Amino acid sequence: MAGLRRILAGMRPAAGLLLLGVMLVLVAGTFDAEALYVPGVAFVLLALLAVAWVVIASRGVTITRRLDARRVVEDEALGVLVEIAGGRLPLPGAELADPLLDDPVALGFGRAQRRTRIRARFGRRGRRTLAAPKLVVRDPLGLASLTITGTDDDELLVLPRIEAVRPLRAGDTGRARRKGRPAMAAEVELDGVREHRLGTPASRIYWPALARGAGLMERRLRAESDSRPMIVLDARGAERDEDLDAAVRAAASLAVSLARDGGSQILLPGDRRPTALDETLGGWVHLHARLALVQGGGRASLTGIANRLGPVIYVCPHVPSRAPRALEHAP
């Protein structure tokens, strides 16, 4: 029903001209005004011809849009190809409308087979739904028009941009030159002692405690991943959407820069455990997509932050009056 209404709306000028022509013919016949027959018949024929040309030329016309990628980084160019095909008659005239175009593109008289290339850029991260392109076919006089809509909308994910991390002071690399231990080495560090558990290897028994008569104790070990720097992203308190985007961009840039220098971890809002990144950036594709979808108001879980060995970098979209209490004793 809605489609029929749109079609009729595009034919209103032609319908008005047709009605005017019929009225002139009726007046000419009623009052024997032969001079009105010519314009009356001309108006009727012109209206019918315009409608017939637009309707017949639009039959079989299809419009498709192809994206070079379904994911694109902020401010990077995305190639888009819009193809128009089909049609039995040359188009009397048309306009191509697409959400990626600033203004509709006018297509003059000719065959329906056309190709239009678009270079689109997106300044903000997040999921985008691109409405299907439309082709408005109309006659040269604008009496009749018909809108042809593409098949489906397109989904696009805009990823946060990764920027270079620069040192704050001259000569400072801005990185703790850490060298990860070999994969075969014991990737653990001492984190105190506890009562011996059945099945614990003898290499972990804490013999000094046994010698003092304190009973059989074992060394408690902490994974090496705890010594890697961790970026904590807090999405609360953003006054503007641009501030949150900048915070996400900063967290992503720090995570990648530190990962390339030995490994890093990043804790996203809503997560209880951080996501680790190594020098190979394994898993970054999935993490990058999650960063693109971070919403404002999300709070990072700071449980256990104070017990970490490695440094903690707190990133938020505003300047806090004080650091979160959980970070006061963080390394």
Residue 112 scores a pLDDT above 60: yes
Q: How confident is the model at residue 182 (pLDDT cuts 50, 70, 90)?
A: very low
In percent, the amount of the chain with pLDDT more than 90 equals 54
Tell me which of 1-5, 307-311, 314-318 is least confident: 1-5
Give the residue from 299, 268, 301 showing the smallest Cα distance to 286: 268
Q: How confident is the model at residue 178 (pLDDT cuts 50, 70, 90)?
A: very low
pLDDT for residue 89:
82
pTM flag (> 0.85): no
Element (H, E) at 73: strand 71-73
pLDDT for residue 187:
47
Q: How confident is the model at residue 331 (pLDDT cuts 50, 70, 90)?
A: low
pLDDT for residue 181:
41
Mean of pLDDT over the chain? 84
Contact between 238 and 318 under an 8 Å Cβ cutoff? The reply is yes
pLDDT for residue 226:
67
182-189 contacts at long range (C-beta below 8 A, 24 or more positions apart): 187/223, 187/224, 187/225, 188/221, 188/222, 188/223, 188/224, 189/221, 189/222, 189/224, 189/226, 189/227, 189/309
Q: Cα(245)–Cα(238) distance, rounded to whole angstroms?
A: 9
pLDDT for residue 322:
73
Contact between 117 and 81 under an 8 Å Cβ cutoff? The reply is yes
